[in-house]
Homo-oligomer: A and B are copies of this chain.
Amino acid sequence: MERFKDILKASNLKSTHQRLAILECIDTHGHIDIETLFELILQKYPTMSKATLYRNINDLLAFYILEEVKLPQQKQKYEIKKVPHIHLLCSQCDTVEDIFVETNALFETISSQSGFQIQKSFIVMNGVCKRCLSKK
């Protein structure tokens, strides 16, 4: 994917097969943990080592290309950095959905109530997704 080559170049990172595979894999999965990511990439690049994976994840985080996603009760996951959004974690099918919602009203309330100056937010909702709800 050309898109990722450009992103890497912008941070002076070389576009190795491994790095591109990591980015594409995270991109198509949306949210993924190290172990799953490793297994998926191994299928395409049998020589991929975990050291490389960890090093790349850390580098990509440092350059703000990736973002960590810490969900309750789950192993740490990663996603491609995008505009701020809310995570909807379904307790039935275990999938994570992203949703874009206006949160200014909430931010306002919090600021005026506490004097805290909000820079960014991390919001996860736990519940049951549309699909699982309609299954009953």
Contact = CB atoms under 8 A, between A and B. Distances in A.
Interface in A71-107: 71-73, 86, 88, 90-91, 97, 99, 101-103, 105-107
Contacts of A72: 68, 70, 122
Interface residues of A, number: 38
B126 A123 contact: no
B130 A115 contact: yes
A119 B94 CA distance: 14
Interface string A99-127: 10111011101100111111111111111
Contacts of A130: 114-116
Contacts of A113: 99, 101
A22 interface: no
A102 B110 CA distance: 9
Contacts of A116: 88, 90, 97, 99, 125, 127-130
Given A70-B71, A72-B68, A123-B123, A110 B101 contact: yes
Given A86-B110, A121-B126, 6 more contacts: A68-B72, A70-B70, A97-B116, A101-B113, A105-B106, A119-B126
Interface of A: 68, 70-73, 86, 88, 90-91, 97, 99, 101-103, 105-107, 109-110, 113-130, 133
